């Protein structure tokens, strides 16, 4: 098994500083690891360049990606580019979608996660539709997030609602 980490954006031979400790631990344990160029994959749409530093495998080798989040199409591009080098991600693009997007996996995790409701965003939603969706929460506090992650770094402005029944608290989001 091989571990894949994003490379440092300015030094393709070093892991991204956010993953440097994990990459060092993998190396100390003698685990196989490679670096991918996350910027080439995500910002340049160049999956071949993204995996250029991934040594080809003689037979099929399973890999675990440990890095920044990416869209499903970016993950699929990474998966295809790695497959061309004999490296198969442990999660297929379909599995990635299932685990990465909450509406896809909610049924499987419902008993282990807070009560959740969602609506597909089409650019606008009526406040009445939102309030109806939130009715089961009563006046309890809730958090708002997109299908993938919350805007937790903007907790008060974009994420936390102290009272789900209070229309004015929802208007600012």
- pLDDT at position 90 is 97
2-99 CATH choice from 2.40.160, 3.30.70, 3.90.25, 3.40.50: 3.40.50
Asked if residue 153 has pLDDT above 80, the reply is no
Neighbouring residues of 155: CB distance < 8 A, sequence distance ≥ 6: none
Asked if residue 155 has pLDDT above 80, the reply is no
- pLDDT at position 172 is 63
**Distance in angstroms (rounded) separating the CA atoms of residues 40 and 126:** 39
Contact 148, 117 (CB under 8 A): no
67: its two tokens: 């890095």
pLDDT in tens, 15-46: 999 999 999 999 999 999 999 999 999 999 99
- pLDDT at position 150 is 67
- pLDDT at position 148 is 62
Asked if residue 11 has pLDDT above 80, the reply is yes
- pLDDT at position 13 is 95
Contact 82, 61 (CB under 8 A): no
pLDDT in tens, 114-133: 999 988 777 777 888 889 99
What are the CA-CA distances from residue 147 to residues 6, 37, 76, 98, 144 (Å)? 23, 25, 18, 11, 10
**Domain spans, the chain:** 2-99, 111-171
pLDDT in tens, 49-97: 999 999 999 999 999 999 999 999 999 999 999 999 999 999 999 999 9
**pLDDT band at residue 154 under the 50/70/90 scheme:** confident
Compute the average pLDDT of residues 142-159: 73
Q: Please, what is the end-to-end C-alpha distance for the chain in angstroms?
A: 43
**Distance in angstroms (rounded) separating the CA atoms of residues 65 and 35:** 10
């Amino acid at each position: 098994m091989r571990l894949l980490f994003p490379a440092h954006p300015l030094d393709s031979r070093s892991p991204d500083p956010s993953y440097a400790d994990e990459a060092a631990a993998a190396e100390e344990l003698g685990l196989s690891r490679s670096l991918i160029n996350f910027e080439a994959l995500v910002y340049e749409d160049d999956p071949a360049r993204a995996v250029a530093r991934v040594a080809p495998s003689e037979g099929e080798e399973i890999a675990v990606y440990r890095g920044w989040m990416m869209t499903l199409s970016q993950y699929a591009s990474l998966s295809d580019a790695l497959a061309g080098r004999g490296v198969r991600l442990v999660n297929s693009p379909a599995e990635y979608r299932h685990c990465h997007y909450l509406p896809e996996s909610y049924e499987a995790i419902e008993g282990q996660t807070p009560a959740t409701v969602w609506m597909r965003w089409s650019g606008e939603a009526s406040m009445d539709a939102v309030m109806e969706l939130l009715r089961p929460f009563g006046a309890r506090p809730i958090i708002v997030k997109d299908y993938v992650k919350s805007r937790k770094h903007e907790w008060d402005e974009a994420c936390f609602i102290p009272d789900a029944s209070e229309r004015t608290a929802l208007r600012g989001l």
